[in-house]
Amino acid sequence: MASTEGLVPITRAYLSTYYDKYPFVPLSDDVTNLSAKIRSIITDLQTYSSLTEGESFVMEEVDREPPHKIDENMWKNREHIEEIIFLLDRPHWPITLQQHSRLEDVELAPIFEQMKIKFENTLKTLEYFQSKNADSIFNTVMTYMPQDFRGTLIRQQRERSERNKQAEIDFLVKAGGSIRDRYALLWKQQMERRRQLAQLGSATGVFKTLVKYLVGVPQVLLDFIRQINDDDGPMEEQRQRYGPPLYRLTKMVLAIRLFLLLMWSRFDGRKLTTDELAILEQAVNVYTNEFERFITFMGEVFANSPFFISADEVGAADSRNDDYKEISIPAGKTHEVVLSVDSINSYIAWDFSLEQSKMKLDIGFSVEYTSSSGEKVLILPYRRCDSDQGNFCTCMAGTYKLIWDNSYSTFFRKALFYKVDCIPPVVEPTQQ
């Protein structure tokens, strides 16, 4: 667990000064120029025939302002890149282009295939950026978590939650969900991660019990994860600084998608001109190059940002907290703590030690489970030790009894310091 002594959550003012060291080289003027030319072609394609319902939906999105948040724009770009790849996939070409019904169609095919490859490469770069960024946020949180079962619980819950989220996506795809449907679900899941992160920082809901038990979790960490995505929090400085070029790229990829969509549906009746094809090729090259340059730059900014402080830089610290209870167990006696568990996949967690003395002392310890039918099972077999720091077990519904046994002793009274709790199923504090 990294020490937080003397630290405070990063402020927007601090980030403003920090970002001065990371100016983004402006986007190429071609982004604006080519976007305008594509919009002009789109207007001409509209006059050829009226828009379908699907085309109208994309047109409405083209006319809207991009989202304000950086991560939402990243998801929007990823969605539209996938839609473009779908359109550029040969089975989704116009039939005449697939069959090379016209001589010029033979020359067009390799051009569209090359465009598809460019977007696929950009998609891979974006997916890697998002995955690495999500892991960085999570690892930053874990750096300041006590390095015992508490961190293990959260890691296990994160892995379980991510498996469940992926299962949701797989089910949607299997049921015939569209790319749009899939990204609506992906963004919903992302917002849920954000809510969970803020919930951990605020210690509300199911996290109230968890945080209550998370003795040693520094307040600076809870403050940081609570405010990281506030509308006027530290990330707003990032949005103000780096949002504008990203918004232009979001508008550009939408325009390219709409251009392809309209061109495909009118391909047989309206011939694509040489100039229009050249503009499309240039736009694809400029967008993919500039977008990859932007996310590569943002990856460097994230990796070096001050809210990603390594444990090596600040050292390690941990200490006992007042939440420990103290009990003196006479010779020949036992001390028991009984907990009732209502929800499966909950956890019984414990942490104990004996008061140190010149004479080595140990105590017997075991955990016993009683089901609703009265059946008893020894969950943790009896053993003798002087401490058991940060241990836990996954539970079924029923009653659990933790037993500290001093019955074998004929003389020594044991001073026991312990904390025990039942932690309900929780969700992972991960955030992109």
Give CA separation, 32 vs 165, 252, 275, 286, 320, in Å.
37, 8, 18, 10, 59
- Portion of the chain with pLDDT greater than 90, in percent: 31
- Does residue 158 fall inside a structural domain? no
Which of 187-196, 204-213, 364-373 has the largest mean confidence? 364-373
Residues 258 and 294 in one domain: yes
Q: What is the pLDDT of residue 409?
A: 79
Structure tokens that stand for 159 in this block: 């892995």
Domain that holds residue 300: 12-144+218-314
pLDDT at 291 over 70: yes
Which comes out higher in pLDDT, residue 227 or 264? 264
pLDDT at residue 39, as a whole number = 94
For residue 189, what pLDDT band results from cuts at 50, 70 and 90? confident
Asked if residue 380 and residue 235 are part of one domain, the reply reads no
Residues 401 and 336 both lie in one domain:
yes
With respect to residue 429, please indicate whether it lies within any of the assigned structural domains.
no
Residues 282, 413: one domain? no
Residue 401's domain is classified under what CATH number? 2.60.120.680
The answer, yes or no, to whether residue 78 has pLDDT greater than 90, is yes
Q: Provide the percentage of residues in the chain whose pLDDT is more than 70.
A: 76
Structural domains counted in the chain: 2
CA 171 – CA 177 distance, rounded (Å): 9
* In a domain? residue 172: no
Picking from 314, 341, 358, the residue at the C-terminal end of a domain is: 314
What is the predicted pLDDT for the residue at 10? 62
Q: Residues 347, 285: one domain? A: no
The pLDDT mean for the chain works out to: 80
Percentages of the chain per state (helix, strand, coil), in multiples of 5: 55, 15, 30
**Are 362 and 240 contained in the same domain?**
no
In a domain, 17, yes or no: yes
Q: Find the angle CA(96)-CA(100)-CA(103) to the nearest 5 degrees.
A: 115
N-term to C-term CA, the chain: 22
Whether 284 and 341 share a structural domain: no
Among 258, 286, 314, the domain-final residue is 314
Does a structural domain hold residue 344? Answer: yes
Q: SS3 letters for 1-48?
A: CECCCCCCCCCHHHHHHHHCCCCCCCCCHHHHHHHHHHHHHHHHHHHH
In a domain, 194, yes or no: no
Q: Give the span between the Cα atoms of 202 and 219, in whole angstroms.
A: 10
Confidence category of residue 152, pLDDT binned at 50, 70, 90: confident
What number is the average pLDDT over the span 67-95?
93
Q: Which of 44-58, 67-81, 184-198, 224-238 has the lowest average pLDDT?
A: 224-238
Residue 123 in domain: yes
Per-residue pLDDT tens digits for 293-335: 999 999 888 877 765 433 333 333 233 344 678 888 888 889 9
Q: CA 129, CA 137: separation in Å to the nearest integer? A: 12
Which pLDDT tens digit goes with each residue over 357-396?
545 578 999 999 888 788 888 888 899 988 887 677 777 8
Residues 61 and 137 in one domain: yes
Residue 370: how many other CB atoms lie within 10 Å: 15
Q: What is the DSSP string of 154-190?
A: HHHHHHHHHHHHHHHHHHHHHTT--HHHHHHHHHHHH
Q: Tell which residue, 272, 250, 261, has the closest CA to residue 54.
A: 261
Residues 113 and 239 grouped into a single domain = yes
Distance (Å, rounded) from C-alpha 105 to C-alpha 87?
Answer: 16
| Listed residues 314, 343, 371: the one ending a domain | 314
Quick check: 24 pLDDT over 50? yes
pLDDT at 191: 82
| Confidence bin at 172 (pLDDT 50/70/90) | very high
Q: Find how far residue 253's CA is from the centre of its chain.
A: 24
Are 310 and 331 members of one domain? no
pLDDT class of 272 with cuts at 50, 70, 90: confident
Whether 179 is covered by a domain: the verdict is no
pLDDT at residue 129 is higher than 70: yes
Block residue for tokens 């504090």: 429
Residues 135 and 256 in one domain: yes
pLDDT at 317: 26
At 214 the pLDDT is: 46
Q: How far apart are CA 198 and CA 201, in angstroms?
A: 5
Q: Which phi and psi angles does 416 have, rounded to 5°?
A: -105, 130
Name which of 77-81, 90-94, 99-103, 202-206 the model is least confident about: 202-206
Residues composing the chain: 432
Give the pLDDT of residue 226.
59
Residue 268 has pLDDT above 80, yes or no: yes
Q: Which long-range contacts (CB under 8 A, 24 or more apart) does 360-364 make?
A: 360/386, 361/386, 361/412, 361/414, 362/386, 363/329, 363/404, 363/405, 363/406, 363/414, 363/416, 364/403, 364/404, 364/405, 364/406, 364/407, 364/408
Q: Output phi, psi for 341, to 5 deg.
A: -120, 125
**Based on the domain organization, do 331 and 309 belong to the same domain?**
no
Would the pLDDT of 92 be above 80? yes
